[in-house]
Amino acid sequence: MKINLKALAAGTLVAIAQLAHSADLTFWSWRVEDKAFYESVARDYRKVSGDDVKFSAYKNTEYPTVLSAALASGGGPDIIHTRAYGGLSNLADAGYLLPLTSTTVPGLAAFGPSLDGARGFKPPHDKEFHGVPFATQSLGIIYNKAVLAKAGVTEMPATWDEFKALCATLKAKGVTPLANGTRDAAVLEQVFGVVGPNFYGGTDFFSAVKMGNKTFADPGFVKAIEEVVGLKQFMPANSLGIGENESRTLFSTGMTAFFITGTWNIDTVREMNAKLDFDMVPAPPLRKGGKAWVSTFADGNYSISASSKNRAAALKFINYLASRDFGQRLINELRQTSAVPGTKADDKVLAGINSKARTDGTPFVMLVGFRYQNPNGSVLLRDGLQKLIQGQGTAQQLAQDIQTGLASWHKPFQK
């Protein structure tokens, strides 16, 4: 079958309908919470394409093992919901994913930095794309306007020191400032992603460590670690037992003023309390009027199994997933930031932080740059922060441990 690439480039369901073919496609994902959405997409896609798409979702913690086992045995789905960066590179470098180009998927030509999350790690896979990015995420501080107003605060503090002073004032009044706990190491990395860039220097620092011109023992990075650890005093008293789910509940029920998190929780908070009046902003800058960085990252990709027996139909579906029609549907129905260029968020909170990310975005340092091999940067940072919060070690020691661990495989550090 010859695929009509010009029709695919239009990226609409109508164009796809012109591609006369019928196939049964399987689509695996870890997005259990989005099952209804993807099943609805599949029903609508079938009406115009004639192709069936069976969506199967697995628990987030089980998905990597289930998927890897299936692919290693020559099985698995046609369409694979892949992670980004290191999560994708493991599959791409093993030859499990079909390389994609702007010829087979014309829409890829318009995608921006999110495509970096669709590359492999080892040559030649680092020069190839192995997926269509599906969403981008940003990190920031969600704040409850009513809680702050009750404390006499009508706007977010202008500097980081003022933010900490406000947290101390709220705590003195019996209000828990932060919803965050320390049980989930991944959440601590997210907190670092919000607070850290203003101290270590955002994108300039990220570029420098990628090139080996700076190290993670840099004083700015050490200071960022210290600031994150210092936030424990503003967390709930039982912070050791609080993970992301509990933090969502605390914030959504008005028990705390702030929730340091990512844009994926905007929709969750709305679902938990539709009447809650809240907004999302970057961490305040060190100096009034200074730069306030927003850590961003590609959240994952839609990929095709290299062993798919329905390659033409899979490419047809992937082209639809790269279209503005689908991207706008994703942002409207899931309130996630679609990676498809030209899509816009109607949700004011999401649109606001997205605007900040466009002007002051910086890579979420460990996920974007240092999760490709072991020991990976995220694990080193997460585990180290947990230990520091429990009183074990120093920020300087953690920074050096990160540097030493990453130098074992990050070649620029070996110069």
pLDDT digits (tens, 9 = 90+) for 253-266: 999 999 999 999 99
pLDDT of res. 6: 42
Question: Is residue 356 in some structural domain?
Answer: no
What pLDDT, in 10s, does the model give residues 100-117? 999 999 999 999 889 999
pLDDT above 60: residue 339: yes
CB atoms within 10 A of CB 322: 28
What's the whole-number mean pLDDT along residues 193-207?
A: 98
Q: Are residues 11 and 90 in the same domain?
A: yes
Q: How far apart are CA 20 and CA 35, in angstroms?
A: 27
Q: Are residues 386 and 280 in the same domain?
A: yes
Percent of the chain predicted with pLDDT > 70: 95
Q: Are residues 105 and 56 in the same domain?
A: yes
What pLDDT, in 10s, does the model give residues 88-97? 999 999 999 9
Question: Is residue 180 in some structural domain?
Answer: yes
> What DSSP string runs through 301-331?
EEEEBTT-S-HHHHHHHHHHHTSHHHHHHHH
Confirm if 194 and 353 have CB atoms less than 8 A apart. no
Q: Are residues 166 and 269 in the same domain?
A: yes
Q: Are residues 48 and 173 in the same domain?
A: no
Q: Are residues 80 and 30 in the same domain?
A: yes
Q: Are residues 170 and 286 in the same domain?
A: yes
Q: Are residues 130 and 197 in the same domain?
A: no
Question: Is residue 383 in some structural domain?
Answer: yes
pLDDT above 60: residue 3: no
Number of domains composing the chain: 2
Q: How far apart are CA 117 and CA 85, in angstroms?
A: 4
State the chain's mean pLDDT as an integer.
Answer: 94
In 365-413, beta strands by DSSP E = none
> What DSSP string runs through 275-287?
T--EEEEPPPPSS
The SS3 call for residue 258 is strand
Q: Are residues 118 and 187 in the same domain?
A: no
> What sign does the dihedral 54-60-62-68 (CA atoms) show?
positive
Question: Is residue 353 in some structural domain?
Answer: no
The SS3 call for residue 370 is coil
What pLDDT, in 10s, does the model give residues 13-68? 545 444 445 799 999 999 999 999 999 999 999 999 999 999 999 999 999 999 99
pLDDT above 50: residue 220: yes
Say what the pTM is.
0.91
Q: Are residues 214 and 85 in the same domain?
A: no
Q: Are residues 29 and 160 in the same domain?
A: no
CATH of the domain at 182: 3.40.190.10
pLDDT of res. 21: 53
pLDDT of res. 16: 47
Question: Is residue 268 in some structural domain?
Answer: yes
Question: Is residue 183 in some structural domain?
Answer: yes
Q: How far apart are CA 168 and CA 177, in angstroms?
A: 8
What's the whole-number mean pLDDT along residues 208-222?
A: 98
The SS3 call for residue 212 is coil
Confirm if 264 and 186 have CB atoms less than 8 A apart. no
Domain containing residue 58 = 5-136+298-346
Give the residue from 398, 388, 374, 415 showing the smallest Cα distance to 214. Answer: 415
Q: Are residues 338 and 272 in the same domain?
A: no
Question: Is residue 264 in some structural domain?
Answer: yes
Structure tokens at 360: 């002051």
Question: Is residue 351 in some structural domain?
Answer: no
pLDDT confidence tier of residue 415, bands split at 50, 70 and 90:
confident
